[in-house]
Amino acid sequence: MEASTSITTIVTELLATHYPEVKEIYELGIATNNATLETKAPEWEEWDAKYMKSCRLVALQDGRVTGWAALTAVSGRCVYAGVAEVSVYIHPEFKRQGIGRLLLNRLVAASEQEGIWTLQAGILKENVASIKLHEQCGFRVIGVREKLGQLHGQWRDICLMERRSKVVGV
């Protein structure tokens, strides 16, 4: 009889010490040309300034970062204080293991604790796996923003998705 091992995924707060692995995962996403219009991952200081301090998560397996999720405020205007944009990235070696769903569901819960009533995601139209993941976590497609930005000289369409909280702002 073979012994089976079960690897536990732990979701915890993303810390500066996680950033080298977070940056690597982001760079692997960039390399697909379907995860973001960005072409270069920022250094920690720039990344830290961009993302909300309260909603930053990493998934860990045996101490290794397997994925990350964070929120960006969509506006500095107070009337949009409850609206944030989602980022979720999974290391290619760990895709299709439920880590994305785990991270995104935890991020939704954390956002609601922070008073966020609407989450949005802008996903490249070709990134079908990410669109499906977001749908599984309660997001809906609200439209496609055609030729929103260029990546390597080609116009790309962005699928705009949204999730409205059932507990905040009702």
Indicate whether 133 belongs to any domain.
yes
- CATH value at residue 21: 3.40.630.30
Indicate whether 170 belongs to any domain.
no
Which residues, in sequence order, are CB contacts of 139 under 8 Å at separation 6+? 119, 121, 161, 162, 163
Q: What are the tokens at 39? A: 């072409």
The whole-number average pLDDT for the span 25-52 is 95
pTM of the model: 0.91
Give kind and range of the element (H or E) at residue 1. none
Give kind and range of the element (H or E) at residue 109. helix 99-113
Q: Tell me if residue 15 falls in helix, strand or coil.
A: coil
Indicate whether 2 belongs to any domain.
no
Indicate whether 146 belongs to any domain.
yes
The whole-number average pLDDT for the span 146-154 is 91
Per the structure, how many domains does the chain have?
1
Supply the range of the domain harboring residue 35: 9-164
Q: Tell me if residue 47 falls in helix, strand or coil.
A: helix
What confidence score (pLDDT) does residue 71 get? 97
Indicate whether 41 belongs to any domain.
yes
Indicate whether 53 belongs to any domain.
yes
CB 128 within 8 Å of CB 88:
no
The whole-number average pLDDT for the span 20-36 is 96
Which residues, in sequence order, are CB contacts of 28 under 8 Å at separation 6+? 89, 91, 92
What confidence score (pLDDT) does residue 26 get? 97
Is residue 114 over pLDDT 70? Answer: yes
Indicate whether 4 belongs to any domain.
no
Indicate the residue type of 75.
S
The whole-number average pLDDT for the span 70-99 is 91
Is residue 2 over pLDDT 50? Answer: no
Indicate whether 1 belongs to any domain.
no
> Among 6-10, 110-114, 130-134, 154-158, which stretch is predicted with the lowest mean pLDDT?
6-10
Q: For residue 103, which of 63, 73, 53, 137 has the smallest C-alpha distance?
A: 137
Torsion sign over Cα 8, 13, 16, 20: positive
Is residue 76 over pLDDT 90? Answer: no
Is residue 125 over pLDDT 90? Answer: yes
